[in-house]
């Protein structure tokens, strides 16, 4: 059975203490006692948030590792039928888009290398319709060449962002390990990066951002750093789209996802309270369970704990599906989230927990002047969603450790590397 001391874990927010600019109209509607109006605004916001597009253009010469990078980013195995085909020599100006399997609004565009097309950089960008991209990743498996520089310069002119990814770093590391007696990981990586930066600077790119990546081990080397850079440089409204579509490469990502979901709980709670629905059996407050189902489904998918994500992880990490599922402790992971399931899980938290939720809820009444039923619904939804979020985040950590611990390519990585790259085996 799942036990958790809820009151110590969950610090409730003031339901009216929102940033008005974040969601205009909700506070005003609530103050006017227009609950339906508030709920409608929240619903609109939640729907819009799910549809924010993110277009990532991946370019580089044939064989540089674009498809493999796209597949790894999306958590798709190269052998999967949704995978971008790898190891195929391109000769045409063929552009293929690969949606993220869980977030179809996040699109990866496999763009041919500029050298393949023989178009000058400006024409190339026009042809690929550069306007639609949020940023470009220029991939090379060697040092960056003249074409990469030209393209970067043109992208810069168009005021778009670009990042250089030096791929297949695992190959370099292995080769150096074999050839050098006093091999130092830091030293080897430093040299490769320096070499790339030098080439780009000579070509006229100021302070180029180069990331050393192995698509077979995204948690190693510079991919986590690329993730942080993207997060910092993307406009705020696009950040969650990127974050949720990121594979769980380390504990930090899992925690960031949790924080982002936590920040949304107030909206779900107000929305759920405003449209009082089914009463929770042990506490006769009405909450909108369909909204709760949506929130919990979002958590499950965001943490990669839905069945199809776990299946994909099983295949990319080489860990049997059943073994991944064996570490799950919450009754929500790997299950289809339904109102029945939510009610079943909630009914486990009876007695003191339920009362505390009610008590906590009633404390809102004099403070915010919300109708009693609404305060109780708010408090109940808030507590329930926080609890579900904690459960699923914990499961995500367990699955992450399991997948990594048994991944054969990670075995043999030294403790030093694990510490440096934040891997917890």
Of 164-172, 367-375, 380-388, 413-421, which segment contacts ligand GDP by CB under 6 A?
A: 164-172
Q: Which is nearer to ligand GDP, 211 or 244 (CB)?
A: 211
Give the closest residue to 36 by CA, choosing from 280, 371, 298. Answer: 371
Which C-beta is closer to ligand GDP: that of 214 or that of 314?
Answer: 214
Helix, strand, coil shares of the chain, percent, nearest 5, are 55, 10, 35
Candidate list 117, 188, 215, 330; residue touching ligand GDP; CB under 6 A: 215
Q: Which is nearer to ligand GDP, 38 or 70 (CB)?
A: 70
Size of the site for ligand GDP (CB under 6 A): 17
Which of these segments, 25-33, 166-174, 197-205, 326-334, binds ligand GDP (CB under 6 A)? 166-174
What is the nearest approach in angstroms of ligand GDP to the Cβ of residue 214? 4
Minimum distance, C-beta of residue 280 to ligand GDP, in the bound complex (Å): 49
CA nearest to 424, candidates 395, 404, 396: 404
Contact positions with ligand GDP (CB under 6 A) in 168-207: 168, 170-171
Rounded to a whole number of angstroms, the minimum distance from the CB of residue 405 to ligand GDP is 21
| Contacts with ligand GDP, 342-381, as mask; x by CB under 6 A | ----------------------------------------
- Supply 285's token pair: 């407050």
Residues 196 and 144: beta-carbon distance below 8 Å: yes
For residue 199, give the H/E element and its range.
Answer: helix 185-202
Question: CB 410 → ligand GDP: shortest distance, Å?
Answer: 14
Residue from 214, 264, 269, 375 that binds ligand GDP (CB under 6 A)?
214
The answer to whether 408 contacts ligand GDP (rule: CB under 6 A) is no
Q: Rounded to whole angstroms, how far apart are CA atoms 127 and 134?
A: 16
The answer to whether the beta carbons of residues 251 and 423 sit under 8 Å apart is no
Task: Determine, following the binding rule CB under 6 A, whether residue 166 of this chain makes contact with ligand GDP.
Answer: no
Rounded to 5°, the CA angle 353-356-359 comes to: 155
Sequential DSSP letters for 208-269:
--EEE--TT-TTSTTHHHHHHHHHHHS-HHHHHHHHHHS---SHHHHHHHHHHHHHHHHHHH
Token pair 């950590």 is found at 397
Positions 67 through 106 that interact with ligand GDP (CB under 6 A):
67-68, 86-87
One of 117, 167, 330, 353 touching ligand GDP (CB under 6 A): 167
**Residue 162 burial class via C-beta count within 10 angstroms: exposed 0-12, middle 13-18, buried 19 and up:** buried
Bridge partners for 212 per DSSP: 166
Please say which residue, 87 or 408, places its beta carbon nearer to ligand GDP: 87
- Pick the closest to residue 331 from 308, 309, 348 (CA basis): 348
Nearest distance in Å: CB 249, ligand GDP: 14
User: Segment contacting ligand GDP (CB under 6 A): 45-53, 162-170, 273-281, 378-386?
Assistant: 162-170
- Candidate residues 108, 162, 216, 349; the one interacting with ligand GDP per rule CB under 6 A: 216
The residues binding ligand GDP (CB under 6 A) are 60, 62-68, 86-87, 167-168, 170-171, 214-216
């Amino acid at each position: 059975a799942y036990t958790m001391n809820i009151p110590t874990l969950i610090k409730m927010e003031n339901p009216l203490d929102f940033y008005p600019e974040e969601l205009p109209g909700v506070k005003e509607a609530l103050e006017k006692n227009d609950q339906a109006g508030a709920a409608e605004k929240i619903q609109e916001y939640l729907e819009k948030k799910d549809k924010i597009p993110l277009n990532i253009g991946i370019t580089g010469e044939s064989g540089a590792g674009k498809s493999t990078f796209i597949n790894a980013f999306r958590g798709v195995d190269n052998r999967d039928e949704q995978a971008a085909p790898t190891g195929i020599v391109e000769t045409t100006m063929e552009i293929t888009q690969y949606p993220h399997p869980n977030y179809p609004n996040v699109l990866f565009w496999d763009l041919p290398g500029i050298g393949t097309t023989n178009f000058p950089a400006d024409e190339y960008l026009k042809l690929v319709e550069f306007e639609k991209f949020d940023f470009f990743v220029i991939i090379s498996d060697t040092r960056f060449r003249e074409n990469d520089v030209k393209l970067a310069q043109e992208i810069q002119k168009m005021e778009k962002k670009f990042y250089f990814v030096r791929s297949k770093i695992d190959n370099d590391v292995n080769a150096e390990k074999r050839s050098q007696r006093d091999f130092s990981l830091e030293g080897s990586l430093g040299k490769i990066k320096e070499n790339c930066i030098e080439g780009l600077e000579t070509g006229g790119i100021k302070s180029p951002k180069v990331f050393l990546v192995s698509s077979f081990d995204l948690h190693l080397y510079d991919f986590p750093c690329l993730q942080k850079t993207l997060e910092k440089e993307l406009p705020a409204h696009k950040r969650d789209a990127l974050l949720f579509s990121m594979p769980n490469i380390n504990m930090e990502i899992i925690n960031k996802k949790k924080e982002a979901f936590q920040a949304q709980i107030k909206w779900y709670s107000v929305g759920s309270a405003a449209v009082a629905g089914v009463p929770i059996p042990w506490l006769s407050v009405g909450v909108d369970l369909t909204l709760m189902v949506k929130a919990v489904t979002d958590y499950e998918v965001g943490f990669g704990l839905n069945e199809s994500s776990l299946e994909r992880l099983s295949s990319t990490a080489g860990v049997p599906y059943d073994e991944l599922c064996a570490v799950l402790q919450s009754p929500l992971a790997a299950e289809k989230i339904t109102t029945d399931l939510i009610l079943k899980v909630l009914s486990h938290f009876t007695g003191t927990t339920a009362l505390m939720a009610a008590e906590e809820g009633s404390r809102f009444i004099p403070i915010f002047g919300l109708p009693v039923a609404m305060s109780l619904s708010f408090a109940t939804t808030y507590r329930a969603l926080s609890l579900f979020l904690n459960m699923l985040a914990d499961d995500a950590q367990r699955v992450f450790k399991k997948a990594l611990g048994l991944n054969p390519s990670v075995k043999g990585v030294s403790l030093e590397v694990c510490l440096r790259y934040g891997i917890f085996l």
